[in-house]
Every structure is written in C-alpha cells, then in structure tokens.
Amino acid sequence: MRFDGVYTPVITPFHEDQSIDEKSWGRMIEWQIENGVHGLVIGGSTGEFYALSPEDRIDQFRKAKDIVRGRVPWLAGVNAFTTDESCAFAARAREIGADGTLVAAPPYSLPTEKELALHCLKIERASGLPMMLYNYPGRTGVEMGEEFLSRVAQNSNICAIKETSGDINRVHLIAREFPQMQLVCGADDQVLEFFVWGSTGWVCGAANCVLKEALAIWEACTVEKDFDKGRRMTMAMMPLFSVLERGGKFVQCVKYACEIQGLPSGEVRLPLRPLKKELARDMRDVLTTGQRAVRAIFEEGKRQGPAAKVHQLRA
C-alpha cells in the first residue's frame, strides 16, 4: 500500500467537562473528506490518543469506519506503553476495518533498535495490515535508526515511515538507503524538502485547520512538479508552522485555528491547557496572512492557465 497525498491526523474535540464531543469529531471527519483530504489517521498524537481510555480509542476506530464508509483510506494509531497493548489495538483495528496502522516507538521504555524492531514486527503480525512507522524521537525518546530500518524493511507490510525527527539528514538517509520504504513527511516546516527528495505523502497535523492550503502545496510539488510555486506557498505558511511548534502548544494552536474558522474543535483534555491570549493572537495573525498569501499564489496560477487542476481555496 502507498500513502500518497495529505493525511490528516484528526483532532479529538472535548466538551468543557472533558467528555468527548463525538458530534464535532464526526463533523470534522466529514469536513475533511468533503474538502479533498486523501486519507485520515484516527488515534494519532494530534488526536490526543494518550488522553483517551482504551475503550474510547476502539470506539473511535468503529465510528471512523462508519463515518468514512470507504471514501478515503484511514490508519489506526495503535501506540501504547507495551507491545501487547499495541498488538491488541492493532488486532481490533484489523477486525473493524482499518486500512493500515501507524506505529511509533513505545514511550518511556527506551528500547534498543533491535527491541524496537521486534516490537513493530510483532504488531504487524497481530494486524496483518500495512504499517506506517512514525519516527518522532522528541516524543518517544528513541530514534528508528539504520539498524532498526534494516531489520523491518525486509517486511513488505512495513511499507512507509513518517519522519518527524526534524533532522534533514534522515530524509537523505531514507531516500537513499531504504527506497523500498515510502518516505512520508511528518514535519510540516520541512515539507518542501521532503517533496524535493521524492516524498509523495504528508501526514499533516496542521491540515485540521489549513487542509486546502496543504493540498495546494502537495499538488504543486507532486502533481505539477512546480517547486517554485510550492516553495512560495510553503514560505507563506512557514510562520504558521513555526507558531504551531512553539512552546509545545501544537494541539491547542490547531484547535484554536479550527475554532476561529468555524470548524469543529472543542477543548483539549488535561493535562493540556488552552492557549494564552498572546499565542492565540499570534496564531490568528499568521493563519490569516498565510491563507491570504497562498490564495493569491493560487489565483495567479489560475490566471496563467495551470496545466493541472488544483483544489479550490477559500474565497
């Protein structure tokens, strides 16, 4: 399986009493599909999976299957502290009908590369589904290094890696040494570099709030092969990507950006807290400015008669 296009790791809206706002969650999935997303991740870190009970996580898989109805592929985030827990989530994801799994290193235990490889291979056996690895050492404490990749790349079902380390040399390594594994962008502020190095997939947390802009960048770079246009669009969105990464407030910023555009968002769940006013103001400013700039580049391309059809941006 290939994971081409923009995949959105869907946020989980919460009510003020911290319960899941299932209606808003369903509306967000529908909005994503109606506006052209290529795929979804259910139970990712942007969805605050770590703050959900096991029952809530399985319930999201079931409801996602019912809402999506085969219109786009969706991946189940099956990460947990132990291998057995992840295997249990993976097996249930298969039974429910997920198209694949997203697997990161288990947090806190700091496995060796061999131990991590065995962890991922056991999860693959439990599900039998295509797997996208998720390298995010900033959150998990360990990196999916060359020894690890050499072990798991022999399994054709472990077919992609979402690279979120921020180290551009990792992009070079995977593209050069592991071409059998699809390179997927997981670092929004490096997306242009990923596309230049042949990536055609982007798991974009920011796409919860700037989906059309993400689709425009993806299409400029991977369909039109117009990297100058893609660079200009990426540059326009870079201030927003930077604010999202500032001070560990990614989920709060994404939800706030959804809220001010009238999209389903809701509260974050403790221990996270809402944005402070200064960061909220910064987020509003960069969102408006970035969207305006990308829209101008898009309209400029329309006037010049683009060779490929691109997604319509907000008026």
Residues that are catalytic:
134, 162
41-63 burial, b at 16+ Cβ within 10 Å, e below that, comes to bbbbbbbbbebbeeeebbebbeb
CA dist 168 and 193 (Å) reads: 8
Determine the Cα angle at 21 with ends 314 and 132, to 5°: 70
Q: Which of 141, 200, 143, 147 is nearest to 175 (CA)?
A: 200
Q: Which of 76, 103, 78 is nearest to 89 (CA)?
A: 78
Q: Residue 261 is which amino acid?
A: Q
CA dist 9 and 273 (Å) reads: 20
Q: Residue 279 is which amino acid?
A: L
Beta strands in the chain (DSSP E): 5-9, 39-42, 74-77, 100-104, 131-135, 158-163, 182-185, 201-203
Determine the Cα angle at 79 with ends 18 and 271, to 5°: 30
**What phi and psi, each to the nearest 5 degrees, are found at residue 36?**
95, 15
